[in-house]
Structure 1
């Protein structure tokens, strides 16, 4: 299986909320994870992230994605996916169900070694998504700076 095919299989399993059990075959056991997003601050491994996604989809029960681009950089051993996640908060969560929907863009940058994912970085504006879901204060940073 090529890196591109492996990345696609991982992406589909992860985004479906199948957790580590379904994603592990595409990754090294110690695959790491990084994101500059407060909601993912404690997540350091790809195993933790795939389980986090599984949990999110238990709250955003209609969660799905719209895939915009999927590309491989063979020279650098990277595969990138650009998508929009769409989901409505209908169950569980940090607050009672809000029935609000988020449409949030994100990118996965997956680094490969030996045909397996060894690291993934998620580029995502979690604050935007959490505000849309009604999970955090809806006052935007723009409004905060304008009042100073």
Structure 2
């Protein structure tokens, strides 16, 4: 599978709540994760992040993404995807009882490859803005 196809398939699996089970075939074991967001401060592997995303769809069961850009930098073995996460908190399991509030949160994934699989990913996300939209902060 080409780098672009792998990144697209991983992105879809992660963003639709497939968890690590669905994402693992596209990543190296121990693939790292980084995000400068307090909500994800303890999440350091892609495995933990993929499962975090799966869990996010419990309080936001209609969570979905709108892909806004997708770029491949073959020289740097990097793929960048930008999107908007949208949904309404109607489910239980978040930091508060269901608020009925919606979120439209911009974010970017910077996926770094080693060979044909993802070795690490950085998420760029204004989590504070997203939490305020949901009524969680």
Count of matched residue positions in the alignment of Structure 1 and Structure 2: 136
Aligned to 1:132: 133
Output the TM-score relative to the length of structure 1.
Answer: 0.91
Larger Rg: 1
Distance 1:58 1:4 in 2: 29
Residue 58 of structure 1 and its aligned partner are, at CA, apart by: 1.1
Structure 1 stretches of 4+ moved >4 Å: none
2:105 matched residue in structure 1 = 104
Give CA deviations for 1:85-114 in whole Å, capped at 9, x if unaligned: 001101121110001000000000000001
Aligned with 1:81: secondary structure?
A: strand
Matched with 2:75 is 75
Give me the CA root mean square deviation: 0.4
Aligned to 2:43: 43
Matching of residues 12-91 of structure 1 within 5 Å: 12-91=12-91
Gaps spanning 5+ residues in structure 1: where? 137-148
Secondary structure at 1:90 match in 2: coil
* TM-score of the superposed pair, with normalisation by structure 2: 0.98
